[in-house]
Protein backbone atom coordinates (compact mmCIF):
# COMPACT_ATOMS: atom_id res chain seq x y z
CA UNK A 1 0.00 0.00 0.00
CA UNK A 2 1.37 3.38 -1.03
CA UNK A 3 -0.16 6.40 0.65
CA UNK A 4 0.18 9.79 -1.04
CA UNK A 5 -0.44 12.93 0.99
CA UNK A 6 -0.42 16.55 -0.07
CA UNK A 7 2.32 18.66 1.46
CA UNK A 8 1.00 21.21 3.91
CA UNK A 9 4.24 23.13 3.56
CA UNK A 10 6.88 22.97 0.87
CA UNK A 11 10.44 24.33 0.70
CA UNK A 12 10.83 27.68 -1.05
CA UNK A 13 13.16 26.28 -3.70
CA UNK A 14 10.59 23.77 -4.93
CA UNK A 15 8.42 26.46 -6.53
CA UNK A 16 11.46 27.52 -8.57
CA UNK A 17 12.92 24.09 -9.26
CA UNK A 18 9.69 22.63 -10.69
CA UNK A 19 9.14 25.16 -13.54
CA UNK A 20 12.87 25.40 -14.30
CA UNK A 21 13.19 21.63 -14.36
CA UNK A 22 10.09 21.33 -16.54
CA UNK A 23 11.55 23.77 -19.08
CA UNK A 24 14.86 21.91 -19.09
CA UNK A 25 13.17 18.57 -19.74
CA UNK A 26 10.96 20.12 -22.46
CA UNK A 27 13.98 21.61 -24.26
CA UNK A 28 15.83 18.29 -23.96
CA UNK A 29 12.93 16.39 -25.53
CA UNK A 30 12.67 19.04 -28.26
CA UNK A 31 16.39 18.62 -28.98
CA UNK A 32 15.96 14.87 -29.40
CA UNK A 33 13.08 15.38 -31.82
CA UNK A 34 15.03 17.98 -33.81
CA UNK A 35 18.06 15.73 -34.07
CA UNK A 36 15.91 12.79 -35.13
CA UNK A 37 14.32 14.90 -37.87
CA UNK A 38 17.67 16.18 -39.14
CA UNK A 39 17.50 19.77 -37.87
CA UNK A 40 20.21 21.82 -36.19
CA UNK A 41 19.31 22.18 -32.50
CA UNK A 42 21.25 25.35 -31.65
CA UNK A 43 20.19 27.16 -34.81
CA UNK A 44 16.54 26.24 -34.23
CA UNK A 45 16.61 27.49 -30.64
CA UNK A 46 18.32 30.68 -31.80
CA UNK A 47 15.55 31.32 -34.32
CA UNK A 48 12.90 30.68 -31.66
CA UNK A 49 14.49 33.19 -29.29
CA UNK A 50 14.91 35.74 -32.07
CA UNK A 51 11.32 35.38 -33.29
CA UNK A 52 9.88 35.61 -29.80
CA UNK A 53 12.16 37.96 -27.90
CA UNK A 54 15.19 39.56 -29.54
CA UNK A 55 13.95 40.36 -33.05
CA UNK A 56 12.66 43.76 -34.12
CA UNK A 57 9.34 44.23 -32.29
CA UNK A 58 9.33 40.56 -31.24
CA UNK A 59 9.11 41.13 -27.49
CA UNK A 60 6.24 43.57 -27.84
CA UNK A 61 4.32 41.21 -30.13
CA UNK A 62 4.96 38.29 -27.78
CA UNK A 63 3.67 40.15 -24.74
CA UNK A 64 0.59 41.41 -26.58
CA UNK A 65 -0.24 37.90 -27.78
CA UNK A 66 0.49 36.27 -24.43
CA UNK A 67 -1.47 38.71 -22.25
CA UNK A 68 -4.97 37.23 -22.88
CA UNK A 69 -3.60 33.74 -22.19
CA UNK A 70 -1.90 34.99 -19.03
CA UNK A 71 -5.12 36.54 -17.73
CA UNK A 72 -7.02 33.35 -18.62
CA UNK A 73 -4.54 31.24 -16.68
CA UNK A 74 -4.77 33.64 -13.77
CA UNK A 75 -8.56 33.28 -13.74
CA UNK A 76 -8.26 29.49 -13.69
CA UNK A 77 -5.65 29.64 -10.92
CA UNK A 78 -7.93 31.76 -8.74
CA UNK A 79 -10.72 29.19 -9.17
CA UNK A 80 -8.36 26.32 -8.35
CA UNK A 81 -7.40 28.09 -5.12
CA UNK A 82 -11.05 27.81 -4.08
CA UNK A 83 -11.05 24.13 -5.14
CA UNK A 84 -13.37 24.91 -8.06
CA UNK A 85 -12.20 23.04 -11.14
CA UNK A 86 -12.92 25.44 -13.97
CA UNK A 87 -11.48 23.75 -17.07
CA UNK A 88 -13.55 25.96 -19.37
CA UNK A 89 -11.41 29.10 -19.26
CA UNK A 90 -10.55 28.72 -22.93
CA UNK A 91 -14.20 28.81 -23.96
CA UNK A 92 -14.84 31.73 -21.63
CA UNK A 93 -11.96 33.56 -23.31
CA UNK A 94 -13.59 32.97 -26.71
CA UNK A 95 -16.96 34.24 -25.53
CA UNK A 96 -15.29 37.22 -23.91
CA UNK A 97 -13.63 38.01 -27.23
CA UNK A 98 -16.99 37.77 -28.98
CA UNK A 99 -18.56 40.17 -26.49
CA UNK A 100 -15.67 42.63 -26.58
CA UNK A 101 -15.54 42.70 -30.38
CA UNK A 102 -19.31 43.14 -30.59
CA UNK A 103 -19.38 46.21 -28.36
CA UNK A 104 -16.34 47.65 -30.16
CA UNK A 105 -18.00 47.24 -33.55
CA UNK A 106 -21.24 48.70 -32.20
CA UNK A 107 -19.48 51.76 -30.82
CA UNK A 108 -17.59 52.18 -34.09
CA UNK A 109 -20.80 52.00 -36.11
CA UNK A 110 -22.32 54.70 -33.91
CA UNK A 111 -19.37 57.03 -34.39
CA UNK A 112 -17.81 56.75 -30.94
CA UNK A 113 -14.18 57.85 -30.84
CA UNK A 114 -13.24 57.82 -27.18
CA UNK A 115 -10.60 55.20 -26.47
CA UNK A 116 -11.36 55.00 -22.70
CA UNK A 117 -15.02 54.38 -23.58
CA UNK A 118 -14.01 51.58 -25.92
CA UNK A 119 -11.66 49.95 -23.41
CA UNK A 120 -14.08 50.08 -20.47
CA UNK A 121 -17.02 48.88 -22.58
CA UNK A 122 -15.02 46.05 -24.12
CA UNK A 123 -13.77 44.89 -20.72
CA UNK A 124 -17.29 44.97 -19.29
CA UNK A 125 -18.82 43.12 -22.27
CA UNK A 126 -16.07 40.49 -22.20
CA UNK A 127 -16.52 39.95 -18.46
CA UNK A 128 -20.30 39.64 -18.74
CA UNK A 129 -20.33 37.22 -21.66
CA UNK A 130 -17.47 35.13 -20.24
CA UNK A 131 -19.25 34.95 -16.88
CA UNK A 132 -22.52 33.91 -18.53
CA UNK A 133 -20.67 31.13 -20.33
CA UNK A 134 -19.13 30.01 -17.04
CA UNK A 135 -22.60 30.12 -15.47
CA UNK A 136 -23.70 27.13 -17.55
CA UNK A 137 -21.52 24.51 -15.79
CA UNK A 138 -22.16 26.33 -12.52
CA UNK A 139 -25.92 25.96 -12.85
CA UNK A 140 -25.59 22.35 -13.97
CA UNK A 141 -23.38 21.63 -10.95
CA UNK A 142 -25.72 23.36 -8.50
CA UNK A 143 -29.05 21.97 -9.73
CA UNK A 144 -28.19 18.76 -11.62
CA UNK A 145 -25.07 17.70 -9.70
CA UNK A 146 -23.09 17.27 -12.91
CA UNK A 147 -19.30 17.15 -12.97
CA UNK A 148 -18.07 20.69 -13.63
CA UNK A 149 -14.78 19.38 -15.02
CA UNK A 150 -16.56 17.57 -17.85
CA UNK A 151 -19.14 20.25 -18.64
CA UNK A 152 -16.72 23.16 -18.59
CA UNK A 153 -14.23 21.23 -20.71
CA UNK A 154 -16.81 20.27 -23.31
CA UNK A 155 -18.04 23.85 -23.53
CA UNK A 156 -14.58 24.83 -24.81
CA UNK A 157 -15.32 22.95 -28.02
CA UNK A 158 -18.77 24.49 -28.26
CA UNK A 159 -17.30 27.98 -27.90
CA UNK A 160 -14.65 27.25 -30.54
CA UNK A 161 -17.27 25.97 -32.99
CA UNK A 162 -19.45 29.00 -32.27
CA UNK A 163 -16.53 31.32 -33.01
CA UNK A 164 -15.85 29.49 -36.27
CA UNK A 165 -19.53 29.66 -37.22
CA UNK A 166 -19.71 33.41 -36.71
CA UNK A 167 -16.81 34.06 -39.11
CA UNK A 168 -16.78 31.20 -41.60
CA UNK A 169 -20.21 29.61 -41.76
CA UNK A 170 -22.62 32.52 -41.47
CA UNK A 171 -23.21 36.12 -42.49
CA UNK A 172 -23.07 37.28 -38.89
CA UNK A 173 -22.43 40.77 -37.61
CA UNK A 174 -18.80 39.83 -36.91
CA UNK A 175 -18.04 38.77 -40.50
CA UNK A 176 -16.63 41.25 -42.99
CA UNK A 177 -18.68 41.19 -46.20
CA UNK A 178 -17.75 44.65 -47.45
CA UNK A 179 -15.59 43.43 -50.35
CA UNK A 180 -15.66 40.59 -52.87
CA UNK A 181 -12.44 39.19 -51.42
CA UNK A 182 -13.90 39.19 -47.91
CA UNK A 183 -17.02 37.40 -49.13
CA UNK A 184 -14.91 34.77 -50.90
CA UNK A 185 -12.39 34.34 -48.08
CA UNK A 186 -14.20 34.74 -44.71
CA UNK A 187 -12.62 37.10 -42.22
CA UNK A 188 -13.70 39.19 -39.26
CA UNK A 189 -14.44 42.87 -39.38
CA UNK A 190 -11.52 45.13 -38.51
CA UNK A 191 -11.68 46.74 -35.08
CA UNK A 192 -12.03 50.54 -34.88
CA UNK A 193 -8.76 52.34 -34.31
CA UNK A 194 -10.10 53.82 -31.07
CA UNK A 195 -10.38 50.28 -29.65
CA UNK A 196 -6.63 50.31 -29.03
CA UNK A 197 -5.73 51.02 -25.41
CA UNK A 198 -2.33 52.57 -26.11
CA UNK A 199 -3.50 56.03 -25.15
CA UNK A 200 -4.79 54.87 -21.77
CA UNK A 201 -1.84 52.62 -20.95
CA UNK A 202 -0.53 54.96 -18.21
CA UNK A 203 -3.93 54.76 -16.53
CA UNK A 204 -3.88 50.96 -16.40
CA UNK A 205 -0.30 50.59 -15.18
CA UNK A 206 2.93 52.57 -15.24
CA UNK A 207 5.78 50.47 -16.58
CA UNK A 208 8.72 50.72 -19.01
CA UNK A 209 6.80 48.93 -21.76
CA UNK A 210 3.85 51.34 -21.82
CA UNK A 211 5.14 52.92 -25.00
CA UNK A 212 4.78 49.51 -26.65
CA UNK A 213 1.22 49.13 -25.32
CA UNK A 214 2.31 46.26 -23.09
CA UNK A 215 1.06 47.62 -19.79
CA UNK A 216 -1.62 44.93 -19.80
CA UNK A 217 1.11 42.29 -19.66
CA UNK A 218 2.72 44.09 -16.72
CA UNK A 219 -0.64 44.26 -14.94
CA UNK A 220 -1.25 40.54 -15.53
CA UNK A 221 2.23 39.72 -14.24
CA UNK A 222 1.69 41.78 -11.10
CA UNK A 223 -1.66 40.13 -10.44
CA UNK A 224 -0.06 36.70 -10.95
CA UNK A 225 2.69 37.53 -8.47
CA UNK A 226 0.11 38.82 -6.01
CA UNK A 227 -1.89 35.62 -6.33
CA UNK A 228 1.26 33.52 -5.88
CA UNK A 229 2.53 35.53 -2.90
CA UNK A 230 -0.83 35.29 -1.15
CA UNK A 231 -0.63 31.50 -1.02
CA UNK A 232 -0.16 30.03 2.41
CA UNK A 233 -0.22 26.62 4.04
CA UNK A 234 -3.32 24.64 3.29
CA UNK A 235 -5.68 24.12 6.23
CA UNK A 236 -5.75 20.70 7.77
CA UNK A 237 -9.32 20.02 6.67
CA UNK A 238 -8.45 20.71 3.04
CA UNK A 239 -5.83 17.97 2.92
CA UNK A 240 -6.85 15.18 0.58
CA UNK A 241 -5.37 11.73 0.51
CA UNK A 242 -5.02 9.57 -2.50
CA UNK A 243 -4.28 5.93 -1.90
CA UNK A 244 -3.49 3.25 -4.40
CA UNK A 245 -2.74 -0.43 -3.99
CA UNK A 246 0.19 -2.18 -5.52
CA pair distance 23, 40, nearest whole angstrom:
19
pTM over 0.85: no
CA pair distance 102, 121, nearest whole angstrom:
10
Asked whether residue 40 is assigned to any structural domain, the reply reads yes
Asked whether residue 68 is assigned to any structural domain, the reply reads no
How much is the average pLDDT of 59-70? 85
Asked whether residue 32 is assigned to any structural domain, the reply reads yes
How many domains does the structure of the chain reveal? 1
Asked whether residue 203 is assigned to any structural domain, the reply reads no
For 169-223, what is each residue's pLDDT tens digit? Answer: 888 999 998 888 888 888 889 889 888 755 444 333 333 344 444 566 666 666 6
Q: What are phi and psi of 213, to 5 degrees?
A: 60, 35
- Quote the pLDDT of residue 237: 44
- Quote the pLDDT of residue 67: 84
Asked whether residue 8 is assigned to any structural domain, the reply reads no
Cα angle 233, 234, 240 (rounded to 5 degrees) comes to 145
Asked whether residue 47 is assigned to any structural domain, the reply reads yes
Task: Look over the chain and give the mean of its residue pLDDT values, rounded to a whole number.
Answer: 82
Asked whether residue 38 is assigned to any structural domain, the reply reads yes
Instruction: Name which of 192, 217, 12, 59 is nearest 115 in CA terms.
Output: 192
Query: Mutual orientation of helices 115-144 and 89-109 as an angle, nearest 10°?
Result: 140
How much is the average pLDDT of 164-171? 89
- Quote the pLDDT of residue 230: 61
Asked whether residue 157 is assigned to any structural domain, the reply reads no
Q: Which domain holds residue 33?
A: 21-55
CA atoms within 13 A on the CB side of 2: 4
- Quote the pLDDT of residue 122: 93
How much is the average pLDDT of 112-121? 90
Amino acid sequence: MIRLERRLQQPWWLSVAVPVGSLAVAFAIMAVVLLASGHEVVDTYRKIVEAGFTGNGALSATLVSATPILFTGLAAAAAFRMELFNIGAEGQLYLGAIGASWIALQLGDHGAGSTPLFVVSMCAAAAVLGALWALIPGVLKAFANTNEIITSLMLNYVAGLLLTYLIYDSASYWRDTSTLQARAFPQGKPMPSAASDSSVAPIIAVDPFSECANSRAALASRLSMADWSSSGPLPQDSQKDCSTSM
